[in-house]
Amino acid sequence: MTDKNSKGFSKAFSRRNFLKGAIGVGAVAGLSSLMPIDLGKKTVKAGTDYNLGYDVFRNACPRNCYDTCGILSYVKDGVLEKVDGDPKHGFTQGKLCVKGYTYAHRVYSPDRIKYPMIQEPRGSGNWRRISWDKAMDIIAKKVLEIKEEYGSTLPIAMDKYSGNFGILHYVVEGMMSSIGYTTRSLGTPCWPAGIDSQNFDMGAIYNSDPEDMANSDLIIIWGANPAWCSIHTMPFIQEAKENGAKVVVIDPIQTQTASKADTWLQIKTGTDGALALAMAKYILDNDYIDKKYIEENVVGFKEFADYLRKEVSISWAAEKTGLPEKVIIQLAKDYATTAKANIWAGYGLQRHINGGQNVRAIDALGAITGKIGKPGAGVQYAQLETWGFNYNAMVQSPPSGSVGVENPDGSMSNRTVNINNFGAEVLAADDPPIKMLWIACRNTIDQHPDVETSKKAFDAMDLVVTVDQFMNETVKHSDIVLPCTTLFEHPDVNASYWHYWVNINEQAIDPLYEAKSDLEIAMALSRKMNELEPGSCTFPTDISQEEWLAKEFNDGIYDMLGIKDYNELRKGPKKANLPTQAWSDGNFRTPSGKYELYSETATKYGHPAIPSYKKEAKASVKYPVRLLTPHWKYGLHSQFQNLDWMMNMDSEPEIEIHPDLAQKKRIKEGDLIKLSNELGEIKAKAKLTGTVPKDAVVAYEAWYKDSNYSVNDIVKATPSDMGEYATGSPGLAFHDNFVKVEKV
Amino acid sequence: MPKKQLGFLINSERCVGCHGCEMACKNEYQIDVKPRWRRVYLLEEKEYSAPERNHMSIACNHCANPACQKVCPVDAYSKREDGIVMQDQEKCIGCKSCIKACPYNAPQFNVNLNKVEKCELCYERLAAGKKPACVDNCVVGALDLIELSNFHKSKTKRSLPGFPNPNLTNPSVRFISPNIGRQIRSDSK
Amino acid sequence: MTSQFNEGLWKRRLHVLNKLKDMMLSNKDSIIHTRKISSFLTSLSEYADYHSNEFFDQCWSLLENNVQNNESLWKEILFDFNRLFIGPDKLQAPPYESVYRDEGLIMGSSTLEVRNFYQSEGLKLENQGKEPDDHIGIELEFLSYITRLIIMSQEKQAEEKINYYQELYEKFLNEHLLQWGLVFADLIIDKAETKFMKGVGLYLKGFLKEEELQVNS
């Protein structure tokens, strides 16, 4: 630290030895928080010495982000003074991002939730502190009461998602399993349609090493915005550019990434499938297909080709997408004739009612040109290859005799509700109804579409418990809030769903106040439940967090990382020794073992067997303007934006609107405008920009401090076409949402 | 023999306006909430042939003719041999004359200390053989430390649209303009 | 620094410091136990009786609000206390020195200075590292500890020690508590929703103003 911060402040008082002894003892009796240090031992250093070296720890950013950065934490006197990127991380290369650099401000924000607290009545704002023991007592008693009344713990529902993607955080699921059969939110809001597509096509989501993008000659970034959402991939794209590669961005918005591309195609929102199919048609018609690859690796090419010939034409696609025919043709030709042509299929691309089909059509391009599995080429979406841990914390058995949903074979299961229709399904649940919610790693009310319905669901509960770090709408509508630790305050291990590196997360500082990790909470609940009713919870209570961490590792992971002991990760993150190109061995994980252009599995879920065009969503007369709600650059969902450093740079939400549209509504820069539809309305200041479509407005999904602004007040829980196969529930068509725009 | 002058190269073609450099600076020095020693500015869309999101990142420009030094009534500013403009915060009386004089918003007011503070080109890091925190931590490599007496990069400019006239104080920064990519709009009708 | 030892003043200080620190460190359902309310008010008024200032004048009607038998009023006061100092929402009056002095965060450099101060007297926070050392209650506890040492030194006629501890009291007050305590008290006065807590804020302000005068005269 420089002198600047300490200017004008005093140095500590120097020590005087003669003050020990009898006089001190009596005074010590009056102390409650302070205690005498055993001066005999040399455990504490007297006086100030701020030039002591730092203790440096390795951490991993556990947020829902492609990059999962390697972090170095600088701790002095038990205080995290600052963070830095870990230079040993080959993907994030020693750098964090605008959010990561604020971490010290997150850990030490005075607004952090510090103690277990209870609100009576719910929603009143009248909170009082309770001890952990009391909190566990209330919760455990409610669990047992529910079990008594309903004969099962099915009335207890968990909503959990991506607040922390550290492996040990799957303990929340484990904790729920260990009390009995419960109701779980099933599925994922972000990326399920594309997951299904890639599962139908290839049998799994499995992207090539993103570092390989540096070797591409053509990179098509389709419905992704890495400049905001995966900034560490940008240098690899840049490297490719510097070696002559061309970058094409396909997106309705001139995003930050589009601003760095050679070409930006402003496609009409939701028509991406048409563009991909037209490109495929061109490739077919002009004999650019890779016959050998298709013969050896693809099933269903004939059916797909027939479909293209019958249903697809460049002129049709030009009409649909709003892109000129010659542009479509040029793109197809460039793609087909460039060996190292890589497509990055983003998650925004599949947040549509036809999102899954969009991705299938794009995947098909890689298949018919034989680019899948080739250097610098392929269709990249996501991967879970590096996530093969043991999930001990997650896999727990319910107490024997537990009653759940009965399967045909007599075994029992949890009940599920669609995570993407959570509020409505919680309200509709019957036999038994849902009476209690456990929310962790999730901000249901702010981040789930249709805020009103979520609130109604919460209101109908007997007890809502939320584990969190800062106040938000979900906490506001809970009965009990439990303070959780930040990544610096507990051990864990992290993988990425994009790059191939695995990172340890060391505990760098003590948990603040009374914060506990999700793992510690599980053990505390188990202890209390078994105290009240022995055997009512199977979650192990006598294992330390570090031991839990050690138990996550298996031979598979060790082999993959080339280590013999997980402690080796303390010296630096390790890269999985997977082949650089996914699917280079042609061993697809589909039923046929090949790339399935024709997918039987898809038909089982009500989809056409082959990638087909599914009509895009359109505006109505009443709600003529599309509302796009992409990720914001200063936050990750409802995290970070509320921090003081972030608020200083970006203090209020804005709605991006094209000047032409603004003029029609007589809206000027900075005017307060209102977006409304059947669900409700939101208001924010207008920002006029030509980077958005003329028929849409862009409002970013982010949470602002001291504000209950949430785009989800007007986002409908419209399902996307796919998601059920691989993730259990269809996804969300976040971007197929329409509103009326007015000046306030 | 031209005097040594350290400064920044701001590559607005590479820059993605993420504000990582701003935050890396704040993190390095654990700066108070309000002062922004480095600031990222959006470049005006209308200055370019098509609307894009482009930015320039500006801290202190360590000018050859610093306005701050000129107006400071207590001589708190000085220029080092290597061109870094230093501020002796002890001397600062919080009169804010430098804030008014600087065309680039480099001096920032700290309400807790009632004094001004600003970027000092990470002189301690430089002494330890490191690059400034902003330069080191820019993920896309959009910032570089340069030595102007030795800097001959063609295709760099002395300013970008929105940057105050460099003739005022001769700031020690050079820019690479953003390229405007090809745009095919579906809504051009 | 006084050459004459004012035993009464130190005893009154001790009582006020103890009462305030107990309240600020409370983590029970009532911030003051109903049986202790009158002794709370007595300790506070005993000190105030010897010093007149506008803040003391203003606070009495707010503090003596017939709270004795009114359970629902005490509940309101507890919720107010939590809103001001505890959470879970953002704190209306963060009770930590470094929030006011070090970039708005806890565990700042002034926290570590306070920690070192305690250390130099052979004390440390039981929850060091988990709770900020510069919480108002702990700073008051430290001052109360020093005050007790002063009183005990007087009883033992240990002249050197009386002076040493008096200097220490002054130093800690000037270099720490007074650096933020008045702003903190103002926040309580401004943000408190109950009369009682507003009264506490006013009393704290009055007490700190008086202490500032006393030690610096």
- If you ran DSSP here, which 8-state letter would residue B155 be given? T
C-alpha–C-alpha distance, residues A737 and A618, integer Å: 9
Q: Answer whether A266 touches B (CB < 8 Å).
A: yes
Helix (H) / strand (E) containing A445: helix A444-447
Closest chain C residue to the Cα of A473, Cα to Cα: C89
C-alpha–C-alpha distance, residues A565 and A549, integer Å: 12
pLDDT, residue A687, reads 98
- Optimal mutation site among A5, A239, A260, A325, interface B, most CBs of chain B within 10 A: A260
pLDDT, residue A212, reads 97
Q: Report the candidate in A435, A487, A485 with the shortest Cα–Cα distance to residue A460.
A: A435
pLDDT tens track for C58-74: 998 898 865 666 788 88
Task: Inspect the interface and report whether the beta carbons of B30 and C103 lie closer than 8 Å.
Answer: yes
pLDDT, residue A702, reads 85
Tell me: pLDDT of A607 over 90. Answer: yes
- If you ran DSSP here, which 8-state letter would residue A711 be given? G
Question: Which structure tokens are listed for A579?
Answer: 């082949």
C-alpha–C-alpha distance, residues A58 and A487, integer Å: 11
Residues 317-346 of A with CB under 8 A from B: 321-324, 327
Taking phi over 0 as left and psi of -120 to 50 as alpha, with beta for the rest, A75 belongs to beta
Q: Answer whether A688 touches B (CB < 8 Å).
A: no
B6-65+120-176 folds as Alpha-Beta Plaits (3.30.70)
DSSP string, A406-417: EPTTS-EE-EEE
The amino acid occupying position A308 is L
pLDDT, residue A422, reads 97
Q: How many Cβ atoms are within 10 Å of B113's Cβ, its own excluded? A: 17
CATH of A193-385+581-604, one of 3.40.50.1100, 3.40.228.10, 3.40.50.620, 3.40.190.290: 3.40.228.10
Nearest CA to CA, how far is A655 from chain B (Å)?
15
Reply yes or no on domain A625-743 having CATH 3.30.70.360.
Answer: no
Q: Answer whether C75 touches A (CB < 8 Å).
A: yes
Nearest CA to CA, how far is B112 from chain C (Å)?
7
Nearest CA to CA, how far is A324 from chain B (Å)?
8
H-only helix segments in chain C? 7-24, 37-49, 54-63, 71-85, 97-101, 109-120, 136-155, 159-172, 178-191, 195-216
C7-95+135-216 folds as TorD-like (1.10.3480)
Question: Which structure tokens are listed for B157?
Answer: 């400019």
Question: Which structure tokens are listed for A398?
Answer: 């319910």
Strand partners, A186: A418
DSSP string, A323-382: --HHHHHHHHHHHHH-TTEEEEE-SGGGSSTTHHHHHHHHHHHHHHTT-TTSTT-EEE--
Question: Which structure tokens are listed for A42?
Answer: 């040399």
Sign of the Cα pseudo-torsion (C158, C159, C164, C170, in order): positive
pTM of the model as a whole? 0.93
Q: Tell me the domain boundaries of chain B.
A: 6-65+120-176
Q: Rounded mean pLDDT of A27-48?
A: 57
- If you ran DSSP here, which 8-state letter would residue A536 be given? S
Cβ pair A700, A653 in contact under 8 A: yes
Q: Would you tell me the crossing angle of helices C7-24 and C136-155 to the nearest 10 degrees?
A: 150
Q: Rounded mean pLDDT of A330-335?
A: 98
Contacts of A265 (CB under 8 A, 6+ apart): A248, A249, A250, A251, A275, A323, A327, A331, B184
Tell me: pLDDT of A41 over 70. Answer: no
Tell me: pLDDT of A3 over 70. Answer: no
pLDDT tens track for A302-325: 999 999 999 999 999 999 999 999
Rounded (5°) CA angle B129-B131-B137: 140
Task: Inspect the interface and report whether the beta carbons of A471 and C75 lie closer than 8 Å.
Answer: no
Q: Report the candidate in A349, A184, A367, A360 with the shortest Cα–Cα distance to residue A255.
A: A349
Any long-range contacts for A533-537 (C-beta under 8 Å, 24+ apart)? A533/A144, A535/A399, A536/A140, A536/A143, A536/A144, A536/A147, A536/A179, A536/A399, A537/A178, A537/A179, A537/A399
Phi, psi angle pair for A596, to nearest 5°:
-105, 90
Helix (H) / strand (E) containing A275: helix A272-285
Q: Report the candidate in A124, A715, A690 with the shortest Cα–Cα distance to residue A447.
A: A715
Tell me: pLDDT of A392 over 70. Answer: yes
What ipTM was reported for this prediction? 0.95
Q: Rounded mean pLDDT of A460-465?
A: 98
Contacts of A644 (CB under 8 A, 6+ apart): A105, A109, B33, C104
CATH architecture entry for A117-189+405-486+510-561: 3-Layer(aba) Sandwich (3.40)
Contacts of C204 (CB under 8 A, 6+ apart): C20, C181, C184, C185, C188
> How many angstroms separate the Cα of A54 from the Cα of each of A85, A642, A704?
15, 28, 34
C-alpha–C-alpha distance, residues A671 and A683, integer Å: 10
pLDDT tens track for A470-517: 999 999 999 999 999 999 999 999 999 999 999 999 999 999 999 999
What are the chain B neighbours of C101 within 8 Å (beta carbons)? 112
